Structure 1
Amino acid sequence: MRIAIVAPSPVPFGPGGAEALWAGLYHQLLADSPHDVELLKVPVRETDLPEVMAAYESFTSLDLTHFDMVITGKYPAWMVQHPRHVVYMLHPLRGLYDSYRYFGEPTTVDDPDPRVRALVDTAAALRRSTVPALFAQFSEAVRELGPAHPALRFPGPLARSLVHALDRVGLSEASRYLAISRTVAEREGYFPTGAQVSVVHPPSDLTGLHEEPGEYFFTASRHDAPKRLDLLVRAMAHYPGSRRLVIAGTGPETPRLAELAAGDPRIELVGRVSQEELVTHYARAIGVPFIPVDEDLGLITYEAMRSGKPVLTASDSGGPTEFVRPGLNGAVVEPTPRAVGRGLAEIERLAGSPRTAELARRAVSHISWSHVADALTAPPARPVAHHADRASGGDGRPRLVVTSTFPVWPPRNGGQLRAYHLYRELADQYDVHIVCQAATGTVPSARLIAPGMTEHVVPRTREHHDAEQRITDLAALPVTDIVAGRLSALTPEYARTLADLLRGAAAVLLADPFMYPVVADVRPESVPVIYDAYNCELHLKTQMLPHTTVRDELLDEVRRVEAAACDAASLVLTVSQEDAAQLRALYGTPAEKFAAAPNGVDLRSVPYTPMAARVVQRDRWLARLRALGAGSDLRHVAMFVGSWHLPNIEAAEAICAMAPEVPDTAFVLLGSHTGALRRRVTPPNVFPLGVVSDAAKLTMLAAADVALAPLMTGSGTNLKVVEYLAAGVPVVSTPVGLRGLRMPEGTVQVSALGDFPEMIGAVLARSATADSRSELARRAVEAAYDWSAVADGVRDRLESVLVVPAP
């Protein structure tokens, strides 16, 4: 697509959070997406009402028809006209919205002048077609009344009336709505009534964030009154410790802050600092206090937590409270000097625990530019017809309802990829509706994520989240999926949505077994159950759950739910023969219930790279690594991809152990599993790159000499191995890594973990003949593991159990 990011450029110019956001999004789309992108900035002054109105008018005149999509996020840019206009809301003109009350101005215009009354009347009935008339009418009023007329004061009730009217027109025409935080999404009057708003947190553009031993409290903000740095300074009188408080930044409040801090030698104002100095301060902080009033988002919170530091914020601080979990990765206190002083002592205490740093990083681990870009460029939502009385969707096709404990879009990890691609293939024949639970604070929505496939997002309530968190703390591992069914009564909207869609459905498909208790409560007897068993869950959870006081209780719960799902299902799809055998042995499920549905790959999105082109790409990668300080003796690249999943973490540890034995090979690790290596000193030829964009992963798939699957535990089959083979990368795997896959002999080198260094060397030595083996592997993947082939293999079995009325 040709995408335009349209934004105001403040006059006088000063780089701020909005400028960083648009620059980050622009560079993400430019570098790591298939789209063409342009960043269009229009100069905007807003010292008085005529300047504000002129700015609004300038955006209405932009011709953007040569773009396929337009993204805006701040006034007055959303006045542009485009059929695919996506609003990623930072904020409107807050001084005329939620902050207006601080100015003591009335909300209604009481000026009797007929020219003022005419403006108010036009604004009240404003439509796109009458916007030009409003601007002309306003210009005439300014000319006749003079810019100093009391009715034209800014802020003031007339200014509020005009801007609200213009925002109402511009925003009502958008095709999709997103917000940078739950705080912004929930503010009254920001979005059109009834708008479905998705929350997508943007990251900071600050690079190099890392953790060092903590020494002092640190915060950085523009010295403005809403940042409440004066409250923080006064709170130091109630902090009993000896740690310093270092405050970076400048602004109109700087002289007052210096005066307040003069009597306390522990407080240091260091002024404006460079990005490198800012990163160092975060790394050396013991904790980061950030207590603004009603902040939109607060990237300081993100930067601090990425650095592994606990954050202190206030109960009315808005955006920062979305990440801080009191007692775990920070503290939330009342905005009083005494409470903030106690909060400083609390985050100092928390900073002594390694678990605090891990929980801080985990709270923001989902935030990335690739996630933002994917969310903004996702297919547009469409209204969903509910209360259907027959086994079909709104277009007359049989309706297949899917239950899930996680959102499927955007597809990143194994479960999401399977759900998205397999059910998308089925959506050419069925009207697929996925009903998923989502994290607390996610905005509920129903969105079309592929032709014929709609995702219904139901966020877990705060009560549900808190109950789940208590169990997670006892289990020492996230248990969102295991307890989803048990706690679902705390999120009643899930059952209501599911019951609504199941009336007259052709079948309900369990994307995992854990929502079956809800299905059992609301499913009409005539609707059959299909269980898509990604894994043998009892086997997997037995491997994963630590030995805690609740382990046996949780495993019993997994066993009961998985057994009930197998018993109720008319059809059980399994990714491997081994999983089917385990489920039969555990639960006595009849063999005739099972059908094979292995994990696959979307071959349309994974190009095959022959060895000659691979060598060129590899050398470019190695040159980049050397430029970043890697050793000059590196000659080859081995890759591993994995999510935050215990078998993948164990595999990464195994790679770190074997890497010194293959010193001429760069071991590149991609995916969230690399977070488990943060505290480990990795060998110099191991490069944990973390979560990367799809484009970056494809680049690595085209550059690697060998791909690894050193897995010792796990269930199901590995999407990563199929993806490696589809791209033409030679693979070295343990037997577990190849579990459930049937590949021609010689296309994968299977080895015990201890023999991996020797096997990697053998693969590298045979690079001249690698194409013949990789071409054979690609053909085998096309025949059996392309998602269209997988779907073809289950369609007949689906037809045998679906309930579809005669035409």
Structure 2
Amino acid sequence: MQLFIKIKIELGVMMNIAVVTPQSVKGERGGAEGLYDGLIKALITKGHNVNHVKVLVDESTFESIVQAYCYCYYLDLDDYDVVISTKAPTYMVRHRNHISYLLHTIRVFYDMFDEISLGLDKIKQRELIYAFDKYGLDPSRIKKHCTIGHTVEERLRNADQFWNNIDFKLIYPDTLLSGFSEPKKGEFIFLPGRLHRWKRIDLVIKSMKYVKNGVKLLLAGKGEDEKNLKKLTRDLGLENRIEFLGPVSDNELIDLYSRSIVIPFVTKKEDFGYITIEAFRAKKPVITCHDSGEPTYIVKDGVSGFIVEPDPIKIAEKINFFIENPDEAANMGINGYDAVRHITWDNVTNDMLDGINIDPSERTPKINTLVLDMQPIEPAIGGGRLRLKGLYSNFPRNFQVTYIGSYDWSGEQHREIKISDNLNEIDVPFSKTHFDINSYLNKLVPQNVTIDVLSPFLIFASDEYVNRVKKELIKNEVIIVSHPWIYSVIYDDIKDKLLIYDSHNYEYGLREQLFPKNGFGKCIVEYVRFVESNLCKQADIILACSDEDKAKFVLNYGVDPEKIFILPNGTFVKDYDINIEKNKLKNELGIDNFAAIFVGSNYAPNVDAAEFIIKTLAQECGDIQFIIVGGVSDCVDKTSIPSNVLITGLVSNDDLKKYMLASDIALNPMVRGSGINIKMLDYFAAGLPVITTKIGARGLYNKNNYIESELSDFRKYIKLFLDDKNILTEMSKCARNTAESEYDWNKLSINLGNLIGKSLRGK
């Protein structure tokens, strides 16, 4: 019998934790998103390594809901010590230490079913969802059941007796809102939150007919029901007494709470309700209703507020009580404050992790990883450097990554910088001899760059670089060769190490396009084939950017397809704030018209694309502002630039994002290249529909966010976007959703980390 010693996780002992949450396809934020942020921040404060695993959940169709359930089930989270699931369907995940912090199941199949879903087919769908939920939340799969409220627990017990056998631990989440000051004299009635019919804001609006002394109601927030609520306000003749403030900042929200008389939170069957907690933190009383769900457990009737029937007159009676009795309002507000003082994020994490034990043999080991290339990462300019930064600065926290690069230009100094908590960059300049020999050989193919393709043998003229690679090689068990150019330094020293080829392109095919097909050009291309094919054969894992590249490796090098994994390029989705006002950015940047942007580095295929925009499109589309950004600006013919073309040159990352967010569409008229164009993914992250050639869209499959076109038809599709704002808006939403769900560097890095962990165990 094997003996396992269990170690209790005490405070201060670091664990690797995954917090799994659903993400709406609309990208909306509400109380749940604030809860996720607060929980993750609290766990990190405790000293744990935490990764936020977001699962895109589309609840618009039953089929997409089922797909999300299946996706969660197949998530590979084995490398974490603990997994915390949240809303449906994230509890379908499989893990030995699975904590369910249940916000709620999908309510349209539970308490809201009779209001929304009718028909036999809907009943059958509900039965399937019930079966999924019973399986996902079965005690045999869950180490600890927690929930945010009694209401969530009761909803399940009312649906099926199955839930009577589960012991749920109630853990009220804290709010992220902080900085509450002493309350001020009440001036108005205040209610923040989403304008949704389940929040029953219409009851509060109707109650204002009976509220005395001309006191006003202020509503903060936005939502689906805003139009109907404004119409109701007009129909009741209350326009002068009710203000719709729209979204407000945290500081404004705290001030509004402070100056309110009472908070009438009369939602229907609420799971938890941050508004109750925030009102009490501001020392303000709350009015809620008997059927409002969790607020009825938090508000003590006659002590910290009132619990009434969902009737406008009854609500108005209590509002009038607080207007006429400000001292009572103050006392009840203080009672509410005392009632929620124990709700802190520190207590949340203590309660959640209390009693969780782990097997030492299951702890995620530290994985020392060496990544090799011949370019710097920072500043991350151009596709190759963006991939390096995106993948390896977002690795799971149990990875310690050392990157050794160089400069493909002379005159730089040795440097070592820390890019992220687990990624260190070391840049060792190539020697003068290295550059001198390259310059001599480059004269044989003067229209091409050779510093990369010749480095597999010229690298040995750079002793300092080679020696540093050899030194670091000993310390790391995972070796990642990014591009094939440094492979020659390590090929006979890797022994039992895990060797990974991160192929940014199918290099042989790309160089065939770029170099002359005779003389020294042909020699270089064949040399690239020799180096890349040998690396592919020796590598344990090959990362291909697209299915097309994978097929070429298999066909031309005879590589086992089982060891090739598709890991597309990605984008830093969170860097693009798509909620920023586009017209404001246009004014700041001097853009007057409908704008189309092209971004490119100093790279021959990008130059071709930019020249097409300047010499053809700009001439055909005089009413469009064309913006060309990046190193490609230095290479285009500037002798006759049309007035509707703005060439910015190299700009900072912040300015690049501004230009992209100020644009209306993006262009990618590429006619040659390999791998996925990272610029396409950045366009998607910025919410830009794209008109692209087939080459520009290589490796992409979701055509809901781009139009694939011949160069001759670009003008036609630009006009389509200019004339039809509905198509523009829909494709913009699809572009952003695609970036979030498929091309977020954080998710791609986690997938690669899991793959490496599994491969190490197998090796």
Q: Quick check: 1:747 aligned with 2:705? A: yes
Find the aligned partners of 1:642 and 1:664 in 2 and give their Cα distance: 23
SS of structure 2 residue aligned to 1:558: helix
Give the equivalent residue in structure 1 for 2:687: 728
- In the alignment, structure 1 residue 508 sits paired with structure 2 residue 479: yes
User: Does 2:634 match 1:675?
Assistant: yes
1:322-361 equivalences under 5 Å are: none
Aligned twin of 1:43: none
In structure 2, the residue matched to 1:560 is 530
Amino acid at match of 1:531: Y
Distance 2:510 2:752 in 1: 24
- Deviation digits for residues 241-277 of structure 1 (CA, Å, limit 9, x no counterpart): xxxxxxxxxxxxxxxxxxxxxxxxxxxxxxxxxxxxx
- Counterparts of 1:304-383 in structure 2 under 5 Å? none
Corresponding residue number in structure 1 for 2:141: none
Q: Give 2:373's aligned residue.
A: 404
The equivalent of 2:582 in structure 1 is 614
Any residues of structure 2 matched to 1:12-161 within 5 Å, and which?
Answer: none
Partner of 2:635: helix, strand, or coil? helix
- What are the residue-to-residue correspondences of 1:560-639 with 2, within 5 Å? 560-609=530-579, 613-621=581-589, 624=590, 635-639=593-597
- Which has the bigger relative contact order, CA under 8 A and spacing at least 6? 2
* Residue identity in the other structure for 2:751: G
| Aligned twin of 1:520 | 491
Residue number among 429, 446, 464 corresponding to 2:398 in the alignment: 429
1:38: which partner in 2? none
**1:440 shift after superposition:** 3.3
Question: Partners of 2:491 and 2:442 in 1: how far apart?
Answer: 25
Question: Which residue of structure 2 lines up, in the alignment, with residue 275 of structure 1?
Answer: none
Contact map agreement 1:574 1:598 (CA 8 A) in 2:
yes
Distance in 1, Cα, partners of 2:507 & 2:384: 13
| CA 728–609 in structure 1, closer or farther in 2 if over 3 Å, else same | farther
CA drift of 1:714 comes to: 0.6
1:530 aligns with 500
Counterpart CA distance in 2 for 1:699 and 1:637 is: 13
What are the equivalent positions in structure 2 for 1:630-669 lying under 5 Å apart?
A: 635-656=593-614, 657-669=616-628
Give the whole-Å Cα distance in 2 for the aligned partners of 1:776 and 1:429.
34
Shift of 1:802: 2.9
Instruction: Calculate percent identity across the aligned residue pairs.
Output: 28
User: CA offsets, 1:12-36, max 9 Å, x none?
Assistant: xxxxxxxxxxxxxxxxxxxxxxxxx
* Partners of 2:638 and 2:578 in 1: CA distance: 36
1 CA distance for matches of 2:505 and 2:685?
23
Partner residue, 2:454: 483
Which residue of 646, 661, 668 maps to 1:709? 668
State how 1:691-702 maps to structure 2 within 5 Å: 691-702=650-661
- AA paired with 1:788? N
Q: Secondary structure at the match of 2:443?
A: helix
1:413 equivalent in alignment to 2:372: no
Work out the number of aligned pairs and report it: 397
Give the superposition deviation at 1:697.
1.0
> What are the Cα deviations for residues 680-727 of structure 1, in whole angstroms up to 9, with x where unaligned?
423332222111111111111111111101111110001111111111
Match of 2:464 in 1: 493
Q: What is the RMSD computed on CA atoms of the aligned residues?
A: 2.0
Moved more, 510-519 or 785-794: 785-794
Q: Is the 8 A contact 1:427 1:451 kept in 2?
A: no
Counterpart code for 2:633:
T
Distance 1:680 1:593, change over 3 A: farther
8 Å Cα contact 2:704/2:735 also seen in 1? no
Give the superposition deviation at 1:619: 4.9
Paired with 2:760 and 2:632, the residues of 1 have a C-alpha distance of: 39
CA change 1:403–1:427 in 2 (3 A) is farther
2:438 to 440, 465, 468: 468
Unaligned residue ranges in structure 2 (runs of 5+): 1-363
Residue 551 (structure 1) aligned to one of 515, 521, 536: 521
For 1:585 and 1:680, the matched residues in 2 are separated by 45
CA drift at 1:804: 9.9
Q: Could you tell me which residue of structure 1 aligns to residue 512 of structure 2? A: 542
- Do the aligned residues in 2 keep the contact of 1:597 with 1:790 (CA within 8 Å)? yes
CA distance in 2, matches of 1:436, 1:803: 28
Aligned to 2:425, the other structure's residue is in SS state strand
1:775-801 deviation line (CA, Å, top 9, x unaligned): 222122111100012123323321233
SS in 1 for 2:596: strand
Displacement, 1:667? 0.8
Q: How has the CA–CA distance of structure 1 residues 741 and 791 changed in structure 2, closer, same or farther, with 3 Å as cutoff?
A: same
CA–CA distance in 2 between the matches of 1:785 and 1:526? 32
Kindly indicate whether the alpha-carbon contact (under 8 Å) linking 2:516 and 2:522 is maintained by their aligned counterparts in 1.
Answer: no
8 Å Cα contact 1:442/1:459 also seen in 2 = yes
3-state SS in 1 of match to 2:746: helix
The aligned amino acid for 1:753 is L
Question: Cα offset for 1:620?
Answer: 4.8
Structure 2 CA distance, aligned partners of 1:478 and 1:749? 32
User: What SS does the aligned partner of 2:675 have?
Assistant: coil
The aligned amino acid for 1:664 is D
Aligned partners of 2:721 and 2:727 also within 8 Å: no
Task: Note the 1:151-230 alignment, pairs <5 A.
Answer: none
Amino acid at match of 1:555: V
Task: Return the index of the structure with the highest Cα Rg.
Answer: 2
- In the alignment, is the contact (CA less than 8 A) between 2:396 and 2:753 conserved in 1? no
CA contact under 8 A between 1:708 and 1:732: conserved in structure 2?
yes
Q: Which residue of 2 aligns with 1:802?
A: 760
Counterpart of 1:127 in structure 2 is none
> CA distance change for structure 1 residues 752 and 458 in 2, over 3 Å: closer, same or farther?
same
Q: Is 1:688 the equivalent of 2:647?
A: yes
Structure 2 counterparts to residues 775-790 of structure 1, below 5 A: 775-790=733-748
- Write the distance in 2 (CA, Å) between the matches of 1:525 and 1:804: 16
Amino acid in the other structure paired with 1:674: S
- Cα deviation, 1:635-684, whole Å, max 9, x if unaligned, reads 32111000011111111111121211110011110011122214542333
Q: CA deviation at 1:588?
A: 0.8
CA distance in 2, matches of 1:428, 1:767: 43
Q: Equivalents in 2 of 1:568, 1:490: separation in Å?
A: 24
- Gap runs ≥5 in structure 1: 1-394, 626-633
Q: Is the contact between residue 365 and residue 398 of structure 2 (CA under 8 Å) also seen in structure 1? A: no
1:448 matches 2:428: no
Q: 1:617–1:651: structure 2 CA closer, same or farther, 3 Å change rule?
A: same
Match of 2:145 in 1: none
Give the deviation of 1:582 after TM superposition: 1.2
User: 1:546 deviation in Å?
Assistant: 4.1
Determine helix, strand or coil for the equivalent of 1:480.
coil
Q: Which residue number corresponds to residue 180 of structure 1?
A: none
Given that residues 408 and 455 in structure 1 are in contact (C-alpha distance below 8 angstroms), is that contact kept between their aligned partners in structure 2? yes
- For 2:405, give the aligned amino acid: C
The whole-number CA distance in structure 1 between the counterparts of 2:397 and 2:740 is 19
Alpha-carbon separation, structure 2, partners of 1:774 and 1:462: 49
Shift of 1:770: 2.8
